[in-house]
Amino acid sequence: MRPATVTRLVAQERDPDRVSVFLDGAFAFGVYRDVVIEFGLHRGQVLSVEAQRRILAADQIRRARSRALHYLAHRARTTEEVRRKLLQSGFEAAVVEAALDRLVELGYLDDAAYARAYVRGRFRSRGYGPARLRSELMRRGVPRSMVEAAVQELLEEEDPIEAARAQARRRWARLAREADPRRRRKKVSDFLLRRGFTYDTVRRVVDELDAEA
């Protein structure tokens, strides 16, 4: 790489968002159109070696951002999920972090909002209890403070005991043919614990069912 003059800027046919940059009459590299705008590239502009490196670095960040947006188009993701995806795609760590910072700034990534939506959705549609919700969010890389805030907000709006009670009754009914009451109780308890309800909640709900039997 050496200092060179921009001699042509040509939109690429296969990808109109990309522009081919010619230096000293020869193709040098392709960049995103907004990188051209960011650096004010134009014919006759002399680019130092450092300027060329900055342009290529900016294009890599823009490329990573584009890949992330494609990944986010399918469904909401956490910052950590997008980070893992970009690293797996071969982007350097510094490029990934710069792209993530920009996506957070633009509002495409918001772990706190993701956590709130996730706990509400999984609680209402799948009946997950607090422990399961915490585990799922932590596995997706949501910071612990955001996880706790989202779960606490949910518990202020919803009653996990009622949710556990409703699921326990359905499971209890399915096990009506279980001859051993202790096995029936254990199966329902294990089911509720797997769903993420606390031991105290599970014991209370199963005790109620036992008393009604």
Do residues 19 and 33 lie in contact, with contact meaning Cβ atoms separated by under 8 Å?
yes
Dump the DSSP string for 4-19: EEEEEEEE-SS-TTEE
Answer whether 0.75 is exceeded by the pTM.
Answer: yes
Confidence band, pLDDT 50/70/90 cuts, at residue 53: very high
- Tens of pLDDT, residue by residue over 2-44, are 999 999 999 998 898 999 999 999 999 999 999 999 999 999 9
Nearest by Cα to 171 from 201, 206, 196: 206
- How far apart CA 131 and CA 197 sit, in angstroms, is 6
Burial class (CB in 10 A: 0-12, 13-18, 19+), 204: middle
